[in-house]
Amino acid sequence: MNAIDLNLLKVFSALAAERSVTKAANSVGLSQPAVSHALRRLRDLMDDELFIRSTDGMQPTERCRELAPAIDASLKMLQDAMTVKDDNDPANLRATYRLGMNDLFSTLLVPGLTARVAKQAPNVSLRFLHSMAINQNVDDAYSDLERGRIDLTVIQDFDTPSRFDRELLGASEFVCVARAGHPLFQPGLSMEQYTSLGHIMFTTLDAEYSRIDEALSKMGIRRRIELRVPHYSAALSATALTDLVYTVPRILVPHAEQAFGLQVSELPFEAPFRKIFQVWHRTRTKDFGHQWLRNVVSDVSQLSGIVP
């Protein structure tokens, strides 16, 4: 411990977050050679490579992954302890917050969050990172939170490990949408009409079926999926230009109607319903800036149609 100074820990944290010597140097305000020198000292002190160069940047070793959460939390506690806070006014905040979310939540939340933050905290900047957690291993989202890559994530109804806190933002059921003037589509589709149409399915993987299809299979029914896409925006665009229909979260309907002129029908069966949460690491729960950010996300979510 006597050989470790605070600057080394700051470099370690920056490298863990950025996975790049250049970006880490910019983050901590040092030159690239200084960061490289600090990394050599860290490797000697820890007796571990810590970061290994790859085509995807600096990849952390297992020892590095073990150390990162404790070092990040310690640096955050030290920063909070040494920061003089005259008042809890978001106008005085100077920070960059990284939020993880998929393109559904980005479409709904980014405009409102950007406007609200600009008005309340002009010295705060937001960075939005794409989260694939909806159809992939949700541990990826939690790993991003734990290593400090993101400050907050918006995800759908997964079990949250105890080292994280979460807030229910709302829930969404599903409806079916089609292009205006579709010759076979109408409000109040019957099951026969619904299954006779060609369907678009959202999936970030090469999956054959979704939760909608699981619900249908319990009734011994299958729909005809003709297109699979990894983005909600692509699914809506394809719906607007073809006779395919798309079973979409209801919270996306206002955007679908306004931006693509789509028409809507209720589903002729009981579809799954999804709860939507914002999740963060428990070390950030009492931080004023993070509390303010969570309140902004909650308020904008309700204005965007994500309601409990």
Residue range 75-101, pLDDT digits in tens: 888 877 776 555 688 999 999 999 999
Do 41 and 97 lie in a common domain? no
State the residue range of the domain holding 186. 174-265
Can you give the pLDDT at residue 132? 57
Task: Please list the residues that pair with 176 across neighbouring strands.
Answer: 247, 265
Do 178 and 219 lie in a common domain? yes
Do 151 and 285 lie in a common domain? yes
Residue pLDDT, tens place only, 44-64: 988 999 999 988 888 999 999
Predicted TM-score of the model (pTM): 0.69
- Segment 101-109 shows an average pLDDT of 91
Do 96 and 161 lie in a common domain? yes
- Segment 301-306 shows an average pLDDT of 90
* Residue 181 predicted with pLDDT over 80: yes
> Phi, psi at residue 263, to the nearest 5°?
-105, 160
Number of domains making up the chain: 3
Can you give the pLDDT at residue 137? 52
Higher pLDDT, 73 or 193: 193
Do 53 and 183 lie in a common domain? no
Do 217 and 103 lie in a common domain? no
Residue 55 located in a structural domain: yes
Do 78 and 131 lie in a common domain? no
- Segment 32-39 shows an average pLDDT of 92
Do 233 and 212 lie in a common domain? yes
Residue 308 located in a structural domain: no
Distance CA 201, CA 176 (A): 11
Domain boundary among 61, 82, 103: 82
Two structure tokens written together for 26? 């910019």
Residue 238 located in a structural domain: yes
Residue 1 located in a structural domain: no
- CATH number of domain containing 252: 3.40.190.10
CB 247 within 8 A of CB 268: no
Helix (H, G, I), strand (E, B) or coil at 175: strand
* Residue 2 predicted with pLDDT over 70: no
Can you give the pLDDT at residue 123? 94
Domain boundary among 82, 110, 127: 82
Residue 59 located in a structural domain: yes
Strands 95-101 and 124-130: parallel
Can you give the pLDDT at residue 159? 81
- CATH number of domain containing 44: 1.10.10.10
Q: How confident is the model at residue 134 (pLDDT cuts 50, 70, 90)?
A: very low
CB 231 within 8 A of CB 260: no
> Phi, psi at residue 76, to the nearest 5°?
-65, -45
Distance CA 109, CA 9 (A): 34
